[in-house]
Amino acid sequence: MHEMRRFEPPAELAAHANVTADVYAEADADRLAFWEKAAERLSWDTKWDRVLDWDNAPFAQWFVGGKINAAYNCVDRHVEAGNGDKVAYHWVGEPENDTRDITYAELKDLVCQAANALTGLGVKAGDRVAIYMPMIPETVVAMLACARIGAPHTVVFGGFSSTALRDRIQDCDARVVITSDGGYRRGAPAALKPAVDEAVAQCPDVRSVLVVQRTGQDVEWDDSRDVWWDDAVGTASTEHTPEAFDSEHPLYVMYTSGTTGKPKGILHTTGGYLVGTSYTHWSVFDLKPETDIFWTAADIGWVTGHSYIVYGPLANGTTSVMYEGTPDTPHKGRWWEIIQQHKVTILYCAPTAIRTFMKWGSDIPDEFDLSTLRLLGSVGEPINPEAYIWYRETIGGGRCPVMDTWWQTETGQLMISPLPGITAGKPGSAMKALPGIGALVVDDEGNAVQPGSGGYLVLTEPWPAMLRTLWGDDERYQDTYWSRFQGLYFAGDGAKLDEDGDIWLLGRVDDVMNVSGHRLSTTEIESALVSHPKVAEAAVVGANDPDTGQAVNAFVILRESALKDGEKADDALIQELRNHVSKEIGPIAKPKSILVVPELPKTRSGKIMRRLLRDVAEKRDVGDVTTLADSTIMDQIKQGLATGKDDD
Ligand code: WT7
């Protein structure tokens, strides 16, 4: 373990940083005036008459009465300002030398064409469009085309299964799906269209599927429904007049795991979201649009990609790198090669990636020129001090400060983070709430804890990019986030304050796991397991894992009929169950281990005591078992590990 270290903000950076230390006092003095100033960085068709309407809390409206077009702000206005030749994306395909540079002028033409094509397919403002794509430029084009015509998009991560895709299409009642034949992953083309075909077979209201050709693999074709992107978009006009939409017009729905089996559709709206993402992108990454090359190494299918590959960077006129594939294809130095080649100045990624690179060894990045880097970011899970220091030293050459950014799909924008040139860095701490953001650590009663103590992270003030509700479920929105503590947003994270009052995130306090920065619900995986005919009951816990942060550990009770007399639960059965979860949710949800047990530990009221199972999974002595209905169960579980039915 490293003793607690503290890195002072580099003076060099402080002298030229976009924001200065007085920004906190400025925001404290008048929070709404502060966000109003941030909103003025964008181009509005009609100015707002009120910054915030919180009268109907927790339902917020930001920049009330304002009208704005998100795509115009991300693309057209940069072209109009004379920056049409500037590169918006250095796109890097996974196969080597498969690259494409897209300027703002080209992006504008593509977005206009796609907007015209979608209109041609009958998409109107307010209609939902599902996007199930690999990491290719057309994904960004599709999102912006939707935004341009006011059709909220719902991007479904390409690693999700057809079942997960179907559920999301149905939940938000999308009428059009945009996909591709597939994308490159680990050196080979992976298919996407078959999953769409499977999903859409159960979505009778989907009338068109727009298909980008990326890999050239064979696809099944339904003439009544499927349209090639090149035929529809490629032939459309590059002229399109953007319509200004109400600031609160829905921009997108992003599904994320909650504590129940049913994913939550997080709704983000237009004006406030664009203000929150563009301001934080500019301030936290000290973004200089003239000179920086910015790379968020995440998938667009997650909120990190929405906010910091697409909307934030484009609104700021940034040149970004976008990479299609995995970090080890065709070799383990791929990321560093990309940084060297494109002279990346800012890298933003997840601790799980950093830990993987650490494991592969410093020799690999050491072979590349990373001297253009000036700032590093981390997101998605707590960064352990070892990984922080390795990232800072080995990747950042000791000169790049690390911004450990805490936020969520729900918050839309960065919330807790150091500011470059202003805040010191402490490995493992996200430090403090950004200007204009109110965060506290509270105890069970909702009272703020003192420095040196722990509790729950809450947000005390509404913020521009906050979720507005859960799609179609206002009640669940109120219950999930605003009922635990009166008047406070409950984030679901445990946190502690150190003696200086800086915030350390400690992980989820609910039934949500964080595996490689991906958010998974224990209940959702349990439901998937129980849907298998051989499983009677299942309990899932996220156990600490040195590589992935947490790992999915499942405990299952088999049905009587699952095994014949004397037969054991063997590896083939475990594999079958793991694959079943993968098919139901997606490969990311596949349990790392599945133990067949005779019983599950339950309280007298029948609630599964996951805490005890976590002890087992993390190979600790099992803690307090006095609240168990049957206190012998833990012994049975430990004896019966993976041995199946004959221990009954
Ligand atoms: C959860 C949100 C925000 C984009 C990626 C994840 C955890 C996120 C940090 C951080 C500690 C973090 C929290 C949060 N988390 N960033 N810097 N330090 N934990 O978005 O899938 O909505 O997950 O990720 O537990 O609640 P998400």
The CATH homologous superfamily of the domain defined by 513-645: ANL, C-terminal domain (3.30.300.30)
How far, in Å, is the centroid of ligand 1 from the Cα of 407? 5
User: Is the separation of the CB atoms in 63 and 465 below 8 Å?
Assistant: no
How far, in Å, is the centroid of ligand 1 from the Cα of 405? 8
Maximum pairwise Cα distance, the chain: 77
Whose alpha carbon is nearest atom 19 of ligand 1? 381
Whose alpha carbon is nearest atom 11 of ligand 1? 382
How far, in Å, is the centroid of ligand 1 from the Cα of 229? 34
How far, in Å, is the centroid of ligand 1 from the Cα of 408? 5
Read off the pLDDT of residues 144-183 as tens digits, 9 standing for 90 and up: 999 999 999 999 999 999 999 999 999 999 999 999 999 9
Whose alpha carbon is nearest atom 5 of ligand 1? 380
Q: Which ligand 1 atom sits nearest the alpha carbon of residue 307? A: 4
Confidence (pLDDT) at 523: 86
How far, in Å, is the centroid of ligand 1 from the Cα of 597? 32
What are the distances in angstroms from CA 348 to CA 45, 278, 312, 412, 544? 32, 15, 13, 16, 23
> Mapping DSSP to helix (H, G, I), strand (E, B) and coil, where does residue 344 land?
coil
How far, in Å, is the centroid of ligand 1 from the Cα of 477? 19
Read off the pLDDT of residues 613-637 as tens digits, 9 standing for 90 and up: 998 898 887 777 777 777 788 887 7
Whose alpha carbon is nearest atom 23 of ligand 1? 408
Q: Is the pTM of this model over 0.85?
A: yes
> What's the residue count for the chain?
648
Burial 161-200 (b: 16+ CB within 10 A, else e): bbbbbbbbbbbbebbbbbbbbbbbbeeebbebbebbbebb
Rounded to 5°, the CA angle 378-436-24 comes to 85
How far, in Å, is the centroid of ligand 1 from the Cα of 304? 10
What are the distances in angstroms from CA 75 to CA 118, 125, 232, 242, 573? 18, 19, 21, 11, 52
Confidence (pLDDT) at 642: 43
Confidence (pLDDT) at 628: 77
Confidence (pLDDT) at 644: 36
**Domain ranges, ordered by start, for the chain:** 513-645
How far, in Å, is the centroid of ligand 1 from the Cα of 406? 6
Ligand 1 site: residues with CB under 6 angstroms? 256, 303-304, 379-382, 404-409, 430, 491-493, 505, 508, 514, 519
- What one-character-per-residue DSSP string does 121-171 give? TT--TT--EEEE--SSHHHHHHHHHHHHHT--EEE--TTS-HHHHHHHHHH
How far, in Å, is the centroid of ligand 1 from the Cα of 379? 7
Confidence (pLDDT) at 640: 55
The secondary structure of residue 7, as a DSSP letter, is B
Whose alpha carbon is nearest atom 27 of ligand 1? 408
User: According to the 3-state scheme, what is the secondary structure of 27-75?
Assistant: HHHCHHHHHHHHHCCCCCCECCCEEEECCCCCCCEEEECCEECHHHHHH
Q: Which ligand 1 atom sits nearest the alpha carbon of residue 507? A: 25
User: Is the separation of the CB atoms in 351 and 381 below 8 Å?
Assistant: yes
Testing ligand 1's pocket by substitution, the residue of 463, 514, 522 carrying the most ligand atoms inside 8 A of its CB is 514
Residue segments in the chain with a per-residue pLDDT below the cut of 50: 1-2, 642-648
Confidence (pLDDT) at 637: 79
Testing ligand 1's pocket by substitution, the residue of 309, 378, 407, 510 carrying the most ligand atoms inside 8 A of its CB is 407
Report how far residue 436's alpha carbon sits from residue 475's, in angstroms, rounded to the nearest whole number: 27
How far, in Å, is the centroid of ligand 1 from the Cα of 37? 27
Q: Token pair 């964080």 is at which residue?
A: 514
User: Is the separation of the CB atoms in 597 and 637 below 8 Å?
Assistant: yes
Testing ligand 1's pocket by substitution, the residue of 349, 379, 404, 490 carrying the most ligand atoms inside 8 A of its CB is 379
Report how far residue 612's alpha carbon sits from residue 620's, in angstroms, rounded to the nearest whole number: 9
Whose alpha carbon is nearest atom 10 of ligand 1? 406
> Mapping DSSP to helix (H, G, I), strand (E, B) and coil, where does residue 76 land?
helix
Report how far residue 25's alpha carbon sits from residue 162's, in angstroms, rounded to the nearest whole number: 49
How far, in Å, is the centroid of ligand 1 from the Cα of 50? 31
Rounded to 5°, the CA angle 464-466-468 comes to 110
Q: Which ligand 1 atom sits nearest the alpha carbon of residue 491? A: 26
> In sequence order, which residues have a C-beta less than 8 Å from that of residue 160 and are 6 or more positions away?
132, 168, 301, 585, 586
Report how far residue 606's alpha carbon sits from residue 599's, in angstroms, rounded to the nearest whole number: 12
Q: Which ligand 1 atom sits nearest the alpha carbon of residue 505? A: 11
How far, in Å, is the centroid of ligand 1 from the Cα of 191? 29
Testing ligand 1's pocket by substitution, the residue of 277, 299, 381 carrying the most ligand atoms inside 8 A of its CB is 381
